[in-house]
Structure 1
Amino acid sequence: MNGLPAQAWLNTLLVLLQDAQLALLRLWHALGLSGDAHGQPAWPWARRIAGETLLIDLGLARQLGFSLGTVVFALALLAMAVAWRRRRAVLLALAALALVLAPWPSPSLLFSAAAPTSFHSSPTRFSVDAIARGATVYARHCASCHGDDGRGEGPQAASLKRWPPTLVSPLLARRADGELFWHVVAGMRDPQGEVTMPAFARALDDADTWAVLDYMKALAAGSAAAANGSWPMPLPLPDTRVRCGDDASPRSLAQWRGGQRVRVVAFDGDLRSLPMLDPRFQTLLLTRDGTLPAGVPRFRANCVAASAQAWEVYARIAGVPADRLGGMELLADRDGWLRARGAPGRRDWSDADMVCRSGAPAEATREAPAADGLTALVLRMDGEPVRFVKGGFVH
């Protein structure tokens, strides 16, 4: 699922290109050559490197890689020419020849259209509060065309000249957040210039726009999970306030991303539905009111999502009605990606519970089969880390 091709060099190339463009953006902004757009430095050019094209056209990626290598070689010759005066003419000629003979890719293939917000990052941290806020915005402004389930079949869709695109799509999910933001605030047009989606810059502020994008991710995951049993894109563990033990001050769940597996359990009051604490996971309870019930023993669960909105948000992500979420479990890997979904009342896990897959089975998983389903899922999550390509770059 959204896995990066096996070539490690391509991963490295994409990261270098992303870092180079971000460094150029920061330099331009620091020099005062570009301004801000919606609270972040604006990309001042109409084009950007099309990382998404490089992913599907390995020939183009190789051309660019060889060309960049040639540039490094030419710069090395130039440095030698500065230091070695007797061979300066020869070294400069070799550098020029290398640049002329480099397999430069076609600019029309290498670059794609950019927006001022192309390199913007969402400030919401994909939080429960933002997703809940986005649900309200979506219902008011988006559902009439895109539909309650995000599949583009809302009540007004049939009256449009072009049907709205489905949000439950890997192609849409892989667009950079900043470019999706721009499509919402500036609207969209077809090649003939006709409006296919109106601009919402006047109807929504920046916070509403980022929030509705978060909700769209949750909606896409839930709709796909309900229909297909898997997600069209990787989804991070939603950030929320967490209260553990007797500590009265809530902390951010984001602190568990990047090093701690998390087991989210929707608790509906039945102690028999609670699993025992597992040292491989940090167990997090979801309750309808965001409080830890007094009767829950510490050896069953010690932390609760301290938000009354978390129940509805996780139900949307899991693809089930809120009144059927009780007893369901979701597993997140060490990097903070949600990976598996367990049905209520079940204690046995299997490969079918994986809602986010990242590629072929890992060697360790094939060579050392696990004794139980949950252990097999843990091994698979660890052996197949998510490499999510968004906007042409790995996240």
Structure 2
Amino acid sequence: MNPPPPQLWLNALLAAIDHAQRGLLRLWHALGLTGDSHGQPAWPWARRVVGETLLIDLGLARQLLWCLAAIVVAVLAVGLSLAWKRRRLPVLAIGALALVIAPWPSASLVLGPAVPTSFHTSPTNFDVGTIARGEQVYAAHCAACHGADGRGEGPLAQTLTRWPPTIVSPLLGRRADGEMFWHVLDGMRDARGAITMPAFAGELDDRDTWAVLDYMRVLSARTGAIVFGSWPVPLRLPELTVQCGGDAPRSLAAWRGAQRVRVVLADGLADGRRDTLPLEDPRFQTLVVTRDAQPLRDVPQFRAACTAVSPAAWDVFAQIAGIEGKRRIEGTTLLSDRDGWLRARAAAGEDAALLCKAGDGGGTGVRQDLTALVLEMDAEPVRFVKGGFVH
């Protein structure tokens, strides 16, 4: 995978543009100048600044940066002229000169098509229950064309005017959530107006649409791990409910941002044997995931006692792990960094391998010492491009 551009100024420019557009949308909505679309403020214009183009055309990005600097100079000149009336004309002349000599880029290169939901964000929090619901939606409405594995080779794919895109790709993962949401409901057409993907607005509601988008991320990770040995796009630790011994259940989100998480898929605990539970590791907060999603009782000292009590957790993590064939899913471990990004996987009896490196995802799949892996996770935080902007 190609990492985000290393130029700090470009990352800062993209972040500023993204924040500016979202801020403008919030202002327009607060002033009542735009309404809602699918429960969130609707982008009122047919165009938006496309970070995707700026990422691949550094010359264009530099032009835009100089133009923004010229605008800042002009605004400062106007403000200074109001306060310094004796030098008003020279100061205004400097501001005007900055605007004249600025290398204004073509609007057609900087602006691209937008839809009302371009800046929508998913309200699901990537919850395991929503992902499980999305799997059902995908099987019923998407698999026939996109394939059960998401590689675009479903039984109806060859009947379409254009072959379905694979979702096991960083290209699809870079698309903004809101635009993916819109395309699912509104469909897609080619340059001649022919339908390349049917609209599902009459069949799926908002909840199901967000759910299937969540599941597509899991499916992408599963197929990527099986076929390529890596996760094509960064994947957050799914949201679920955790219970530690006799404590009250709480959200897994409480762990994010403070500590690394080790997820262990441990089955066969129904016989009461707690000595098979993983030992605690001071480098991680350990989460045990079982098929029955029942809280653990009478856990021996130094053994992991926190378990996922969300019923869909086992199936979701098993798919993310991407373990198949003769390798056992029981005992598989997934590791996340302090920011909540899943980074590595270790099948039962194997060393861990980094499946998501800094950049757009995609790891080496090379097994390495756990301490070295942890150090690499901490030294290289995940940064990836989504919707044309670096996250």
* 1:279 equivalent in structure 2: 282
Aligned counterpart for 1:337 among listed residues 341, 354, 359? 341
Percent identity between the two aligned chains:
64
* One-letter amino acid of the counterpart of residue 325, structure 1: I
* 2:79 equivalent in structure 1: 79
SS in 2 for 1:235: coil
Deviation of residue 274 (structure 1)? 4.3
* 1:366 equivalent in structure 2: none
Q: Using the alignment, how far apart are the partners of 1:255 and 1:140 within structure 2? A: 34
SS in 2 for 1:311: helix
* 1:316 equivalent in structure 2: 319
Could you say what the CA RMSD is over the residues aligned between the two structures, in angstroms?
1.8
Q: Using the alignment, how far apart are the partners of 1:18 and 1:259 within structure 2? A: 27
Large movers: runs of 4+ above 3 Å: 270-275, 292-296, 321-324
- Which blocks of at least 5 consecutive residues in structure 1 are unaligned? 361-371
Taking a change above 3 Å as real, the CA distance of residues 359 and 201 of structure 1, as seen in their structure-2 partners, is closer
* One-letter amino acid of the counterpart of residue 374, structure 2: V
Contact kept, 8 Å, 2:174 with 2:385, in 1: the verdict is: yes
Taking a change above 3 Å as real, the CA distance of residues 147 and 273 of structure 1, as seen in their structure-2 partners, is farther
SS in 1 for 2:6: coil
The aligned runs of 1:1-395 (5 Å cut-off) are 1=1, 3-247=3-247, 249-269=248-268, 274-294=277-297, 296-320=299-323, 324-346=328-350, 348-349=351-352, 353-358=353-358, 373-395=369-391
Deviation of residue 63 (structure 1)? 1.1
SS in 1 for 2:116: coil
Q: Using the alignment, how far apart are the partners of 2:340 and 2:290 within structure 1? A: 21
Give the TM-score taking structure 1 as reference length. 0.92
SS in 1 for 2:335: strand
Q: Using the alignment, how far apart are the partners of 1:155 and 1:297 within structure 2? A: 51
Deviation of residue 229 (structure 1)? 0.6
Q: Using the alignment, how far apart are the partners of 2:89 and 2:207 within structure 1? A: 58
- Cα deviation, 1:221-249, whole Å, max 9, x if unaligned, reads 110100011011000000001111211x3
SS in 2 for 1:236: coil
Contact kept, 8 Å, 1:285 with 1:304, in 2: the verdict is: yes
Contact kept, 8 Å, 2:74 with 2:99, in 1: the verdict is: yes
- Cα deviation, 1:319-374, whole Å, max 9, x if unaligned, reads 1359942110000000000000001123x33xxx11101159xxxxxxxxxxx811
Q: Using the alignment, how far apart are the partners of 1:269 and 1:318 within structure 2? A: 19
Deviation of residue 4 (structure 1)? 1.9
* One-letter amino acid of the counterpart of residue 276, structure 1: L
Which stretch of structure 1 is more off in the superposition, 66-75 or 228-237?
Answer: 66-75
Contact kept, 8 Å, 2:128 with 2:240, in 1: the verdict is: yes
Give the TM-score taking structure 2 as reference length. 0.93
Q: Using the alignment, how far apart are the partners of 1:170 and 1:390 within structure 2? A: 9
* One-letter amino acid of the counterpart of residue 389, structure 1: V
- Cα deviation, 1:274-317, whole Å, max 9, x if unaligned, reads 44211111000000010144464241211101122111111111
Q: Using the alignment, how far apart are the partners of 2:336 and 2:59 within structure 1? A: 35
Contact kept, 8 Å, 2:328 with 2:347, in 1: the verdict is: no
Q: Using the alignment, how far apart are the partners of 1:45 and 1:133 within structure 2? A: 33
- Cα deviation, 1:167-222, whole Å, max 9, x if unaligned, reads 11111000000000000010000000001111111100100000000000000011
Q: Using the alignment, how far apart are the partners of 1:173 and 1:94 within structure 2? A: 45
Q: Using the alignment, how far apart are the partners of 2:136 and 2:120 within structure 1? A: 23
Q: Using the alignment, how far apart are the partners of 1:77 and 1:314 within structure 2? A: 57
* 2:365 equivalent in structure 1: none
Contact kept, 8 Å, 1:3 with 1:386, in 2: the verdict is: no
SS in 1 for 2:123: coil
Deviation of residue 105 (structure 1)? 1.6
Q: Using the alignment, how far apart are the partners of 2:275 and 2:149 within structure 1? A: 33
* 2:364 equivalent in structure 1: none
- Which blocks of at least 5 consecutive residues in structure 2 are unaligned? 361-367
Aligned length: 379
SS in 2 for 1:229: coil
SS in 1 for 2:262: strand
Contact kept, 8 Å, 1:2 with 1:233, in 2: the verdict is: no
Q: Using the alignment, how far apart are the partners of 1:293 and 1:273 within structure 2? A: 12
Deviation of residue 269 (structure 1)? 2.6
* 1:369 equivalent in structure 2: none
Q: Using the alignment, how far apart are the partners of 1:231 and 1:274 within structure 2? A: 27
